């Protein structure tokens, strides 16, 4: 199954016909194959930025396996997904919200509501910065970073701020997103002079743009446009109740690609999280980090709706500062110039694009080594579990051990839409 083989049906904001030159870039396969080109150049000594050191892989794999055993002693690791952040501090906030709404007896509508929640939540999940915290008053928890962003976004959703239907507050629809006021988002995330959040304006613009794109994509989101209608689209395109992870991702890349601001376009089609690098012949290097993160986060509600998701390892590891920081901290990736550590980098800098490419391939290699440490097969322990158990947690753990405040080993400027 592939959205690359057919001309998109009417009702797409930006149709991507099969023969369009952008089509080959909008897939996980493109991410992995093009990042492999960059890794080969680095391993061949042809990079001005980095060297690759596989001799450090065993120690890093041992550390990740240890982290997995600390987090999940029974090795029953869930998918790497936004749902883990909703459970911060051991509180099942989504489960409680679903029970209060009486959704437990209606798995399809529960899946729609879950998707209504998780799409905007993932889009809000770029790095918060070191100084921001969210006070979860009902549970007396003060939460930083991704956990805080997740719980804050759940509270925003539960308030009905993303629904234009007063009788159905647990929705995310286009009309409410387009009308979302800056003060509503700032209040929901408790932003103020003493609690600054990186990229607040960018996050608001992203949600408003999401509403515009949803409204212009009735093929996926229906009319009036609602995020949770994605469930119906995927169910309609499932063959015998089965859908591939790559089909989910490719659907999202086409449906949500126009949401991302100020990015590269190819003959009118926005390429999303895709950047310039001299490695591939055409100079284009895709990552699709947030969209893959969203795909991982859709697995659980889609499975709860009865779909069988296949081909999980077609997706790649996520090239962001926890996973990529882990590889830097363990010396698998080493900069040629010591000034790399002290410079403040933008996301489009060639060195940062290359670091992200090495992270994608490095995570594949690290995952194999971690499975060897745990004595588990790829089928029993797919990349989605290695990431959760896992490399992301290990990246945060090593950062906390090495640096006050637990920040990444490099300095990054985020606009609230990538890192």
pLDDT along the chain (419 residues), means of 10: 47 90 96 98 98 98 98 95 94 95 94 98 84 95 93 97 95 98 96 91 92 97 97 96 97 93 88 95 96 95 96 95 97 98 95 98 98 96 95 96 93 74
Answer for the pair 164, 122: CB distance below 8 angstroms, yes or no. Answer: no
- For the chain, what is the domain count? 1
The pLDDT assigned to 417 comes to 66
Classify residue 9: in a domain, yes or no.
no
Whether 4 is in a domain gets the answer no
Q: What is residue 384's predicted lDDT score, i.e. its pLDDT?
A: 94
pLDDT of residue 416: 60
Place of tokens 């492999």: 36
Q: Looking at the domain assignment, is residue 146 inside a domain?
A: yes
For residue 261, the model assigns a pLDDT of 74
Burial class (CB in 10 A: 0-12, 13-18, 19+), 43: middle
What residues form DSSP beta bridges with 309? 243
pLDDT of residue 415: 63
Residue 254 CA to residue 15 CA, distance in Å, equals 7
Looking at residue 2, its pLDDT comes to 43
For residue 18, is it within any domain? Answer: no
Considering the domain boundaries, does residue 2 fall inside one? no
The model's pTM: 0.93
CB 271 within 8 A of CB 22: yes
Residue 358 sits in which domain range? 23-412
What are the residues whose beta carbons fall under 8 Å from the beta carbon of 171, sequence distance 6 or more?
113, 116, 162, 163, 165, 226, 228
Q: How far is 39 from 77, CA to CA, in rounded Å?
A: 29
Give me the phi and psi of 214, to 5 degrees please: -60, -45
Which pLDDT score, from 0 to 100, does residue 125 have? 84
């Amino acid at each position: 199954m592939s959205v690359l083989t057919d001309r998109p049906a009417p009702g797409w904001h930006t149709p991507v016909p099969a023969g369009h030159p952008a089509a080959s870039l909008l897939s996980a396969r493109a991410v992995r194959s093009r990042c492999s080109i960059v890794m080969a150049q680095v391993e061949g000594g042809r990079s001005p930025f980095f060297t690759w050191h596989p001799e450090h892989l065993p120690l890093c794999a041992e550390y990740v396996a240890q982290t997995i055993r600390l987090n999940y002693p029974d090795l029953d690791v869930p998918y790497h997904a936004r749902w883990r952040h909703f459970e911060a501090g051991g509180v099942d906030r989504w489960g409680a919200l679903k029970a209060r709404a009486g959704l437990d007896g209606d798995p399809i509508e529960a899946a729609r509501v879950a998707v209504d929640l998780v799409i905007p939540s993932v889009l809000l999940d770029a790095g918060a910065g070191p100084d921001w915290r969210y006070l979860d008053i009902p549970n007396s928890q003060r939460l930083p970073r991704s956990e805080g962003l997740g719980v804050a976004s759940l509270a925003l959703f539960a308030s009905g701020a993303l629904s234009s239907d007063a009788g159905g507050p647990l929705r995310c629809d286009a009309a409410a997103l387009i009308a979302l006021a800056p003060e509503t988002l700032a209040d929901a995330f408790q932003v103020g002079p003493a609690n600054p959040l990186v990229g607040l304006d960018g996050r608001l613009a992203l949600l408003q743009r999401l509403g515009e794109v949803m409204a212009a994509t009735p093929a996926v989101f229906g009319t009036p446009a609602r995020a949770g209608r994605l469930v119906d689209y995927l169910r309609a395109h499932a063959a015998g109740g089965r859908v591939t992870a790559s089909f989910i991702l490719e659907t999202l890349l086409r449906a949500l690609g126009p949401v991302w601001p100020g990015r590269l376009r190819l003959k009118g089609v926005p390429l999303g999280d895709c950047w310039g690098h001299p490695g591939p012949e055409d100079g284009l290097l895709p990552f699709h980090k947030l969209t893959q993160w969203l795909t991982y986060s859709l697995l659980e509600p889609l499975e709860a709706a009865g779909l069988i998701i296949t081909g999980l390892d077609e997706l790649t590891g996520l090239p962001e500062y926890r996973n990529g920081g882990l590889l830097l901290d363990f010396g698998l990736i080493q900069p040629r110039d010591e000034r790399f550590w002290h410079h403040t980098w933008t996301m489009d800098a060639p060195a940062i694009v290359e670091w992200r490419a090495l992270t994608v391939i490095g995570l594949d290699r690290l995952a194999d080594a971690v499975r060897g440490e745990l004595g588990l097969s790829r089928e029993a322990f797919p990349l989605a579990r290695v990431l959760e158990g896992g490399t992301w947690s290990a990246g945060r753990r090593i950062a906390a051990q090495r640096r006050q405040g637990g920040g990444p080993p490099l300095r990054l400027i985020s606009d609230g839409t990538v890192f």
